[in-house]
Amino acid sequence: MFLQQLLNSIAIGSVYALTSMGATLIYGILGILDIANAGAYVLGAYLGLLFYSLTGNIIISFAAAMATTGLLGILIQKYVYRPLLSQPAYIPLIASIGIFIFIENVIRLIAGPTIKQFTVKLPFSNLDYANLHINNVWVLIFIVALILMFLLWYLLKMTKIGLAWRATSQDLDIAKTMGINTNKVISLNFFLGYSFAASAGILIGILYNSIYPTMGSVVSYKMLAIIVLGGLGNPFGTVIAALLIGFIETMVGAYIGFFIPRNAIAFVALVIILLISPKGLFTQKSRI
């Protein structure tokens, strides 16, 4: 029983880690709380289903949906956020909420408000061992999350563009004067941030066999709790924070009962942790 709940909590935590990663990357470089990332999550899921129904190949659909949503990220960055960079932080925040509502409603108008199924046959089935149950989509989520995290780590720590990225996130203006093409770095950052969100949307769509225009609404605020907890813009802190929130939600539900709605638990945890450590679990220094 406890082991099963632990497995449940890891599955939920990995889902949260994946959905919050895009917004974390973007906060890490521009300091913008990008609510529109939840729009990318919805759009990615719909594009994934579209490409899957056209090609019948889930790997191609994954790549195509991630690339398309990533390109949208570059466009949003270039035409919405870049002109607003000199403004106070709440102005791009409001713009991002606007983009999120816009994406949600465009999808509703095109695809309709009803739930669509996202059925994908995986090459491996559910694992049942003794009393323990592991869903096959959870395994897929672990694998995809690990691959994406590894790629991100490699890019940031082992490549030249990763160095430029880290420099830009530390101080944009100084990085620029040092000859770094910060626009290129920021574009790459948004491309990755939005494509990560798209991959999360597709995986969640497959996990629950359903996608719908408002699927991003819980994500849009819960990812905030997670990235704040993870130390704002720290990808590895975000993973830990996501797993922690998944764990707390599951265990509170399993052993104490839902005295408050489950979605509020993340925020209660956030308030308590911020009271103890005002900068989140991880400080700004370790940011990217």
C-beta of 126 vs 181, nearer to another protein: 126
Q: Which residues of 227-242 are buried (b: 16+ CB within 10 A; e: fewer)?
A: bbbbbbbbbbbbbbbb
C-beta of 16 vs 191, nearer to another protein: 16
How far apart are alpha carbons 156 and 163 in whole angstroms? 6
Q: Considering the rule CB under 8 A, would residue 53 count as an interface residue with another protein?
A: no
**Which listed residue (1, 59, 256, 275) binds another protein by CB under 8 A?**
1
**Which listed residue (117, 181, 183, 284) binds another protein by CB under 8 A?**
117
Written as one letter, the residue type at 199 is S
Are 267 and 35 in contact by the 8 Å Cβ rule? The answer is: no
Q: Considering the rule CB under 8 A, would residue 135 count as an interface residue with another protein?
A: yes
C-beta of 2 vs 79, nearer to another protein: 2
C-beta of 31 vs 253, nearer to another protein: 253
Q: 81-89: long-range contacts (C-beta < 8 A, 24 or more apart)?
A: 81/30, 81/32, 82/183, 82/186, 85/30, 89/31, 89/32, 89/33
Number of residues in contact with another protein under rule CB under 8 A: 37
C-alpha gyration radius of the chain: 19
How far apart are alpha carbons 174 and 168 in whole angstroms? 8
**Which listed residue (31, 120, 210, 283) binds another protein by CB under 8 A?**
210
DSSP string spanning 141-152? HHHHHHHHHHHH
Interface with another protein in residues 259-278 (CB under 8 A): 261-263
Q: Of the ranges 157-165, 168-176, 183-191, 204-212, which one interacts with another protein (CB under 8 A)?
A: 204-212
By CB under 8 A, name the binding residues for another protein. 1, 4-5, 8-9, 11-12, 105, 108, 112-115, 117, 119, 126, 128, 133, 135, 204, 208-210, 212-214, 217-218, 249-250, 253-254, 257-258, 261-263
